[in-house]
A and B are shown apart, each in its own frame.
Chain A
Amino acid sequence: MLQSLFDGILVGSVLALGAIGLTLIMHILRFANFSHAELLSLGAYFALTFDAVFGAVSNVLVQKLPWLSVTWSLACAVLIAMALTGATAAIIDLLVFRRLRRLAGPLTMVFASFGVSLIVRNVIGLVYGLRSTHYNNDIVFAMMISADPLLLVKADQIFIMCLALVIMVALHLVLTRTSIGYTLLAVSENPTLAQVNGINLGATVRLAWMLGGGLAAIAGFCYALNNQLSPVMGRDLVLSLFAAAIVGGIGSIYGAVLGGLIVGLASSLALIIIPAGYKPAIPFLIILATLYVRPNGLFGQSR
């Protein structure tokens, strides 16, 4: 039980990071982006690639951070992966979604995002192979925090939680204190009024893609660090991310954080009573329950 709670919060904080970008785009551009989860895989694999590059360049970088299985080169690689994933998200928008926004309605973008997710996922499979891998093949032992109730924790997991927390606090500060933050909040509440107040919508949309992509990269890295890298990790996560965004209320960044934690906890706790094989279906049940009971989620506004 205690272990389930811990795992739930861990998965939940990763989902929260991933869902923030999803909810922003879903709100600003008014379409459910099924390819968002592929940005998580992409970020995770970018980090893998640049980890190898940095590791080859410098001996110093292959040292591990204290207590963790993460090396300095991997840590640097994550920063590059964030930037690259953010840029990729913006480029996909430029090539596909932006054109469709001009030509057709939001549902056509939803449709295209299915196509994009298929392409991205399988290109990753082609490039990196279909087998799953790890950042680090050393065996990491978990510490037993408590024996009864059992609680096993790895240092990496604590690291992931702290990282997620730091990023969320930073994001909160950016949103509430900086002009970039105001711009994002304004556009996500009312794009037309934002324009009336002198905000460049196109630039803000690009910014939202980059922010969402960057956060997705970190989320993907955290997920892969805790589990493994696999080309289908996006497919496995996409429904949970939607569940987090819907539970929190589309457009609410704080809702996405809370929604992520709720979905993570619910999935983890549900496995106590239902067989593990049904795990993929849990987010669906959460979504359905939310839509029946509180369709606008915890913090969402109806449109």
Chain B
Amino acid sequence: MSSVARLDVSELTAGYVAGMPIISSIDVTVGVGEIVAVIGPNGAGKSTLLKAIAGLCHIESGAIHVDGTEVTGIRTDKLTRSGIAFVPQIENIFRSMTVEQNLILAGRRCDKQASSHVEKMLSLFPLLKKTYKKRAGELSGGQRQFLALAMALVAEPGLLLLDEPTAGLAPIAGQEVLSILREIANPGVGILLVEQNAKAALGLADRAYVLADGHNQHEGEARAMLSDPVLGEIYLGGRRRGDHAAKPV
């Protein structure tokens, strides 16, 4: 691991309305080629954390560094043009546009001739080839998640922020998504992964954070957490609540 982390969040306090923070004093780091999971109950502030990193929230205090450069308060579009990719939890594709248009649009943010990147995505996600000319709104849930992932990867980011990429997917499809993440991380991409399915996330990730009520509750090696009896009781037991994918964010 090189000395500079892909992502270094320190003491981050942020929310949607000034003076009403949702997350407080959060510390998170993601190293080069590392997969870091964030788990926690519904409403813990996991999505808010990702949105704050992506410049979509009101930041009260704290700092965010990407590859050693401070990016706190930088506009979202500038961030995502400089090597960060973010896949929101919901509404993460343009439904009225075709798969092709979605990919071209997403690819445009790295350089003008994104067609080779698009080709690459199609070979990574062969499913998208079949639906290339379809409107994205007509895709199935799994296909949508693949498209959203492809839109994030097409610009070849160094840091990938993923908000529940397996939500609403059949178990097999979810497993497929997660296994692709390992391939992506290998060449050095840092991945911050929010997952509801904590077991699967911990099985895949290198390290993990547990978020509850807007605070860091726990952090550690993913494998160790998986076998931690207390954590297992709270977060890995059968206490997953309803269908979070349908919840407005």
Contacts and interface: CB of A to CB of B under 8 A. Distances in A.
Interface string B125-157: 000000000000000000000000001000100
A197 interface: yes
- Contact residues of B: prevailing secondary structure: loop
A198 B81 CA distance: 5
A193 B91 contact: yes
A199 B94 contact: no
A189 B76 CA distance: 17
Interface stretch (A46-54, A166-174, A179-187): A179-187
Nearest to B92: A193
A280 B79 CA distance: 50
Nearest to B51: A192
Interface stretch (B102-110, B212-220, B223-231, B234-242): B102-110
B54 interface: yes
A67 B60 CA distance: 66
A196 B55 CA distance: 9
Nearest to B80: A198
Contacts of B94: 185-186, 189-190, 193
A108 interface: no
Q: How large is the interface on B (under 10, 10 to 19, 20 to 34, 35 or more residues)?
A: 20 to 34
A201 interface: yes
A104 to B, nearest CB: 14
A198 B77 contact: yes
Given A190-B91, A193-B88, A193-B91, A198 B108 contact: yes
A198 B80 CA distance: 5
B105 A196 contact: no
Contact of A197 (B55, B56, B75, B80): B80
A179 B109 CA distance: 11
Given A196-B88, A197-B109, A189 B96 contact: yes
Nearest to B82: A198
A12 B111 CA distance: 41
Contacts of A192: 56, 76, 88, 91
Q: Which of B55, B77, B93, B97 has the most CB of A within 10 A?
A: B77
A190 B136 CA distance: 14
B95 interface: yes
A interface, size bucket = 10 to 19
A298 to B, nearest CB: 14
Contact of A196 (B54, B97, B101): B54
B209 interface: no
Nearest to A203: B77
A186 B56 contact: no
A201 B96 contact: no
B104 A182 contact: yes
Contact of A185 (B80, B97, B106): B97
Contacts of A198: 77, 80-81, 106, 108-109, 155
A182 B77 contact: no
Contacts of B56: 192, 195-196
B185 to A, nearest CB: 21
Interface string B24-50: 000000000000000000000000000
B96 A196 contact: no
Contact of B97 (A179, A189, A195, A199): A189
A227 interface: no
B95 A197 contact: no
A63 interface: no
Nearest to B151: A197
A75 to B, nearest CB: 35
Interface string A204-247: 00000000000000000000000000000000000000000000
B105 A182 contact: yes
Contacts of B155: 198
Contacts of A190: 91, 94
Contact of B105 (A195, A197, A200, A201): A197
A208 B80 CA distance: 22
A190 B106 CA distance: 13
Contacts of B55: 195
Given A182-B101, A192-B56, A197 B106 contact: yes
Given A179-B105, A198-B80, 16 more contacts: A179-B108, A182-B97, A182-B101, A182-B105, A185-B97, A189-B96, A189-B97, A192-B88, A192-B91, A195-B75, A195-B76, A196-B54, A196-B76, A197-B80, A198-B109, A199-B77
18 contacts: A179-B108, A182-B105, A185-B101, A186-B97, A189-B95, A190-B91, A190-B94, A192-B88, A193-B92, A193-B94, A195-B76, A196-B54, A197-B80, A197-B109, A198-B108, A199-B77, A199-B109, A200-B77
Interface of A: 179, 182-183, 185-186, 189-190, 192-193, 195-201
Cβ-closest 10 pairs across A and B: A198-B109, A195-B76, A198-B81, A182-B105, A198-B80, A195-B77, A200-B77, A197-B106, A198-B77, A196-B86
Interface of B: 54-56, 75-77, 80-81, 86, 88, 91-97, 101, 104-106, 108-109, 151, 155
